[in-house]
Structure 1
Amino acid sequence: MRRITLAAVAVAFVFVFSLSLSMQQPKQQKGEQKKAEAKKPSVPIKNEGWRIIYGDPKAKVKVEAFYPVGSPGHEFVLEFSRKLAESFPGKVQVIVYDWTKPKGADEFSKRGLTCGCFIINGKMQVTYKGKTLAFMRRPEMMGWNFDMLKAVVGAEVEKVYGKGGSKPQQVKKTALQKSGARASPQGVVEIFVPCGLAGPYGDLARMFQKQNPNIRLRPNVTGIVALLNQLQAGATPDIFLALGTYELTKLAEQGKFVEGSLVKCARIPLAVVVPKRNPAGVKRLEDLASPKVKKVITYPFNLSGGRGAKQALEAAKIWDAVSKKIFTPKVPDQAKQLLKKGQADVGILYRTCLMESYIPDQPPIIEHDLVAVQTIPQHLYEPIYAAAVLVKDGKNLDAARKFLEFLKTPEAKGVWLKWKFEPVEETARPAKLSDKSPLFIYAGAAFRPPLEEMGRTFERKYGVPVKFNFTGSNCLLAQIILSQQGDLFLPGEEFYVRQAQKRGYVLKSEIIGYFVPVILVRKGNPKGIKSLKDLAKPGIKVGLGDPKACAIGEISEAILRKNGLTETVRKNVVFRAMTAPELANALRLGAIDACINWDAIANYPWVRPAVETIPIPPEQNVITANPLAILKTAKNFQAAEKFLQFALTEGQQILRKHGFTARNDLPPAYAKSLFSPVKATK
């Protein structure tokens, strides 16, 4: 069932039929259909209020339709559904779910859908005569018709019942088909476009196609989650237009994108958004901690917007006060609508959502019921970018590259500004040395406290601004591969630098410190945990890092393997964190009883009062080195080299200040416990 659901949410737009497959009905045929509609239906119909069922329940081909039945413009849904069941009696059953009814809405939400669609035997995306199709929204909007739907369902009937199981309607060939001419495939570029970027995309597409008349852009516009699911399920458009780059990380790890093809188009600012009446009196981010604010809505935390919202709240030191008030809708597009309906007092949303168009080449819709009372300062969260990237195995990457090059032009950048996005680079304060461009450092999330202090000290001393991207180490490596940008790389362990080195991204590296794993328990150690073996005791809720996302996850697995505890402890694991700080936070909030984490995390000011540390003996432990690498993509090599030397000298004292193990401070007893990246890859 899960595979079917993923397939169902995978696509949200029809890939338009070429003229050669157009099946417009002649006037005479339409007249005959109108007469037929007046006749009594020849298939059983069952109306349950929230859903209407056409056809034989024993039919092996199931077609499901999800629409607001009865709403203006959706009259076609029941007509098409009935005609499908009548066209294939006994072989096709059609179920129409009305999402305006509570049960229908539950089913719609359960499938993760964002717009109306027809699903054929669990598949929304189908291939017919070499074309990839989906039947979404209204036919006149998306360029499909009943004959197309009937032809695809007929093909499914033949597949299930064998040849002769269906008799598809014969369609008169077009002049183009008779001549044998074909549209050049080199001229079509398929692009996945999130709804939130449909407005600027429409302007960009019109400008690009005017300059490149031989290239036709074919967009697939829907919610970001549906598009990501479609990529995960194996779809291969030529370009993915991203509403934030964080959500591309896992797909990049799987090799879905062409390395180095990412183009950052604009920054997407986050804002504190309230209903027009603003009943809670919110004026700025800090007001979210007020008792007057009962509910806060934002995007899911696995998306760039939700991640940025959490970072901003943490940086403003109000996360603890606000976190229990936050709720996130399953479908991010609903966040704005729920806020408008009064289901939250305030939202942390993209500022651009107050002026957007869900359909390309349409004027923007200005939100008059919502107000952005504050644009959240950029220094409180990592920049969120609207970006474009080439999808590996796309069918027309040469033409797609032309579009990406166009996105770099001044006229294209101007389009984003029109739609209230921000330039990719902030207007920075002038550096003391005008020839020094800012440094950009990819760093494991656990390094945030000492690195941010290093960055401030380095900028004061040398006049070079330092920007960071903090997240799980494996995610960082994927971002480097995807963007081919950045100056330095500091992951949680050496394995990731070795991987980057193999791919040719590293110029040089030096070890600046070490992470020593420990067991962290809640204050007072209520479960009496004293050793690794105690993590396997019944009733102990254990948290570990995700080995696919962060270094502490991989090292924890290595520790359990070393001590023969993998299976026994795994039974008690109730939480997998994307980063080491996230793991500590789960412990602090009582979601888990214990975790394996870095010794340095225990010294975080917000962690120290709530936890106790249990050392892991050297012979049972696995230690990891922290190499700081200069990347070959560095734009300011001189400053990058200077920062590396700074980290090896003055930076060592800053590491010690924050409770980290500096380069020369590792006890000799741990020397044999160092993690081997070479062994780990075997």
Structure 2
Amino acid sequence: MNRALVFMIGSAAVLAAIFAFLVMSDSGRSRSTLSSEPLLMYCAASNRAVMESIRQDYEKEFHRSIEIQYGPSQTLLSSIEVTRTGDLYLPADDSYLKLGREKELIAETLPIASMRAVVAVRKDNPLAISRLDDLLDENVRLVQANPDTAAIGKVVRKTLTASGRWSDLDQATMAYRATVNEVANDVSVGAADAGIVYDAVLHTYTDLTYVKLPELDGTASDIAVGVLQTAKDSASALHFARYIAASDRGLVHYREHGFRVGAGDQWSDRPELSVFAGSMLRPAIEETITAFEKREGVNVTRVYNGCGNLVAQMKAGQRPDAYFACDSEFMDQVHDLFPEPVPVSQNELVILVPKGNPKGIRSLRDLTRPGLEIGIGHEKQCAMGWLTQNTFREGGVQESIMPNVKVQSPTGDMLVNQMQAGSLDAAVAYLSNAAGASESLDAIRITGLECSVATQPWAVAKESKYPQLAGRLFERICSAESQQVFAAEGFRWQELSSKASSDPVSDE
């Protein structure tokens, strides 16, 4: 064979091999950051069938072992508390996750689905059970799950205790079982005539059906998965948790198994979350976002700018997953994209002057003196500028001050830089802008004008592919550690009065 031809064929083979290696490396780049150690998950017995389907898909897709310990929700929680081991916990009712948080065992929770309390009977319902009184008949062999260890027993006891019917049902119960699956098994093999179970549990029992009792109407359990504080590799644990809660992965199986599920996030091996935030918020949130990226194993693209510019970008078609505005006015301008904003913090306008205040400036009125060179925010480009003009108008000094304004900047940081360079006598900016420049600048408070205070709202876009991921970032921003950073940067924290996003579990 011609040597040149052999060389060309050999070169092509080498290039093909290199290309294949690069493609494989790129596709597995985020996966390679995950630990190869198996994950240990504690899961309620009621979710066993669906979780086995999810585990099979996950292990096939990512070649990573998941070890799962099934049992009653309370028993599993007690085991976690005693052993202080494991990565994930999925109880049959999210009240156990709340208990876990109180015990500082749970770091994050991801909502998944819901299921309702019903009565399991044989397919043709031979005893014609239709209401609670039917279960009290001495000829009906009734079994339940232990209310001290199993979620179904706990929620049923709570509902019937409130209505005064629990004592009667307790006395009529032939036996208590450890798990809801054992209750269904008793009815299936004829060892019991009826058993109180979750509706979704009966998906795999073709010989059984269920009856909705009026007395149990509304008795349901919300299911969520929690990432344990003991997780050795949080990114790996959250990777599987996101898989379970993803609309096009785990929730597909949950729906097929008869659970009611919400929208969930779209699945991505390494999600790219985008956040628009006013420039003045950067010092307060940047470190929190960086830590969140590392813990979750995700990327957060943040765009810091004046809110006027950010709003213009969004109206031009750019769509971030979340928006943290410098003032409610600029959130209102994109309300159609972010319908549920939550007020987070407050920041106030101040007058910045050189250290020692050589010009003796004490109020807005002093900024009207002839010959002063003043810097303010640009009214169209940032919330700070818009708020400044409102404050000037309310203070009755707008026409007198504006002739002294030499600089209109899109961010407070730029004004601080010019103040430190000595090119301005004074600037009107946020207190947070002055926080990092206390050695060279003094801040004079603007008193008597409520309009000089800005409120910073956070919202998740209604079209976001990752509302749950954005919600967890918001939780981190609201953490005690984060609030301390906000305070150090000159912000006042708000009491959060509403959720950042709606309940993801639907009644479909």
Q: Shared fold (TM-score greater than 0.5)? A: no
TM-score, structure 1 length as denominator?
A: 0.33
With CA pairs under 8 Å and 6+ residues apart, which has the higher RCO, 1 or 2? Answer: 2
Higher radius of gyration, 1 or 2: 2
TM-score, structure 2 length as denominator?
A: 0.44
